[in-house]
Structure 1
Amino acid sequence: MDWAEIMRGRVYGADHDDAGPRPDRVYAELVGGPLDGLLLDVTDRPERELREGVALRTEIGAHGPGGRARYALRTADDRHLDWRGDSP
């Protein structure tokens, strides 16, 4: 089992002990970039924010600790956010 397989189905920002999705929440999958395969809880996020893009903290992006990976909803798809690049 490789690292990517281990990370699939895990929720971005969740505690390691409780990293799986919860039935009472809505998730979108992060596609590409350093957070590929993780799920983002979008339950309380406005669709406009997701379409414009969200910057998610990550230590494994191009800018290392403190960097962010930017993701935005695919056109006509509310279940996948595509990677748009990294920022400091």
Structure 2
Amino acid sequence: MTENMRRIYGTDHDALAPYALQPGHTYVELVGGPLDGQLLDVTALTADERAGGALLVAPGSAYGPGGRADYEPRPGCATRWDWSGDVPW
């Protein structure tokens, strides 16, 4: 899958453009876990919020629907966040 053909996290599966990057937005690649390969739009997050990573709804998590996947910024790489495990919600 090419860089411009990665699904944007949070888009509906039947969305007209689930792969459309928005101009002026900042994205990170989710690496590993149930959301591997998807892009997360972090445009609205502050630097402190980005440093904290994110718990993202992941139907394919170990906890099933409603479970969350924990993604943390990769040290030294601002464009990739690594999966660190699943958590229940």
* TM class by smaller structure: 0.7 to 0.9
| Paired AA for residue 9 in structure 1 | R
Aligned residues: 82
Q: Which runs of 4+ in 1 moved over 4 A?
A: none
Determine if the alignment matches structure 1 residue 51 to structure 2 residue 46. no
List aligned pairs for 1:1-88, cutoff 5 A.
5=1, 9-15=6-12, 16-20=15-19, 21-88=21-88
Write the distance in 2 (CA, Å) between the matches of 1:45 and 1:66. Answer: 23
Write the distance in 1 (CA, Å) between the matches of 2:7 and 2:64. Answer: 21
TM-score by length of 1: 0.84
| Paired AA for residue 29 in structure 1 | E
| Paired AA for residue 72 in structure 1 | E
TM-score by length of 2: 0.83
Write the distance in 2 (CA, Å) between the matches of 1:52 and 1:24. Answer: 22
Q: Alpha-carbon deviation of 1:23? A: 2.1
Q: Give ranges in structure 1 of 5+ residues lacking alignment.
A: none
Q: Give ranges in structure 2 of 5+ residues lacking alignment.
A: none
| Paired AA for residue 59 in structure 2 | E
Write the distance in 2 (CA, Å) between the matches of 1:18 and 1:24. Answer: 17
Q: Alpha-carbon deviation of 1:49? A: 1.9
Write the distance in 2 (CA, Å) between the matches of 1:27 and 1:35. Answer: 14
Give the % identical residues: 45
